[in-house]
Structure 1
Amino acid sequence: MRVEIWSDIACPWCYIGKARFEKGLAAFAHRDDIEIVHRSFELNPNLPMGVTAPVVDTLAKKYGRTLDEARAMEAHVASNAHSEGLEYRTEGRDSGNTFDVHRLLHLAKERGRQNELLDLAYRANFVEDRSVFDSETLVRLGVEAGLDETEVRAVVADETAYAEEVRADEREAAELGANGVPFFVLDRRYGISGGQPAEVFTQALEQAWQGRTVLQPVGGGDTDAAPACDVDGNC
């Protein structure tokens, strides 16, 4: 059975949601029969390439909050991350255009290293003092994930490489009704929006495994209430 996960490396709830999904998957009896495919979704596709800004400043501007209020927002997310055993750096992170990260993730998918690169990119963005928006850092992450450096450099340097694959993922997300991420689709039978609790993912995996045929939302009552980042980049 295939599970497709639409996400963006800039989305903190995607980072947290991945951990929760993996806990839910671990409790699923048929976990070894699940194929996981990560798909592209840009929260801020209109951001200029190569331009970054501090996350706290970006949050304050986007939501019309003070810097202290924006820091409190980050602290809330950090608390949720910590509850899942994840590290989360609330200061010193940048925001920027994630298109190149998505393109490289498609190369990693072809080489069977997609999950490895995604984990490294999340860690670089949310934990370490490394910017995924820097091309040289992105190259190093690709190499650390097990990709060939020459091939990685060629993809990062060529803005058309895997561009259509990224756009195709985004079009498909729109067709499926995804208005935010993370967005999980289980065997094209069940759709799950947001960073749901682990037990919700286990329940959905069990239901999809039983052979239901209609894509329908699954969640803790109201899936729209689950924490996520929407198509306008609001988290």
Structure 2
Amino acid sequence: MFDVSVILDSMLQHEAEIRKAIGQTFLMVGISVAAAILCGLPVGTLLFLCRKGQLYENRSLSWVLDGLVNIIRSFPFLLLVVFMIPLTRMIVGTAIGTLAASIPLSIVAIALYARQVEQALLDVPRGVMEAARSMGASKLEMIVKFLYVEARSGLVLGLTTSTISFISYSTVVGIVGGGGIGDFAIRYGYQRFETELMTGVIVLMIVLVQGIQFAGTTISRWLDKRS
């Protein structure tokens, strides 16, 4: 059994480093969430709309988008980080650091959330779009005022699930000096054999993930008109 007081003392001794690591994690995850919303939402919407029988049926575009999303999602993240170093250097001017690590993480975020968006939109009853069409809604109105409104609960829940995955992925970016709370746990807790410190950081990450899951689930239930 671990002594709670020893764990707390160990964490207090590294308070400054832990605060910095948490800030790095929030920065990486924040950029990834922004990329997921700004790019993943449109990509996922296109994946849905270009399917057979949907508003913008386009098999070629659907095949290309579906293939790209599948490739990115199936690519081992550690290898993706290394593979994208030239592109990362081109975008931010360096391949090392928290901002640089956010680039491959954002690419994965877009692919992950795009698939979540597609699934959420597939769960919307077909009658919703038919009702919108019968009321004379434009295509943009059908998407924004009907499709998104009906799928909003699933979209929030999908973003919650994706965000938790981003936190998990962020623990890998230490290979390019991305930092973060996961990298801190490995460097200080595992490599220096400070087991109590590593345990405390793990508990901290569990609390963070549980908080995000609780908030996302609560908002999703509040938005769900069926509940």
Give the shorter-chain TM-score range. under 0.3
More helix by percentage: 2
TM-score (norm 1): 0.26
More strand by percentage: 1
